Amino acid sequence: MTMAAAATSKLKVATDVCLVIEHDPIVLAKQVASVDLASNGRVIFGIGGGWNAKEMEDHGTVFKSRWKLLRERIEAMKKL
């Protein structure tokens, strides 16, 4: 995304769907903020909650509570 942002000046750069609950929110916030800064605010950050219960469990998330965790992490990322 950084390369695309550096090579263009008007195109928006975007993620497809980022499964936020599978990432450390501090690291992810820094990554998104860095690309947003490099692109002069042209980042579109697509997020999702996931659908694969086994995958969620592998990342330490209770499948039924993933939406609550997603909201908490997004709110934390915004503050960071």
Token duo for residue 62: 């209770």
pLDDT of residue 59: 87
Phi-psi region of 26 (alpha: psi -120 to 50; beta: other; left: phi over 0): alpha
Helices (H) and strands (E) in the chain, counts: 4, 4
Q: Which domain holds residue 38?
A: 2-79
Across all residues in the chain, what is the average pLDDT?
94
**What domain count does the chain have?**
1
Cα–Cα distance, 20 to 8 (Å, whole number): 26
Model confidence pLDDT, tens digit, residues 23-51 = 999 999 999 999 999 999 999 999 999 99
pLDDT of residue 41: 96
pLDDT exceeds 90 at position 12: yes
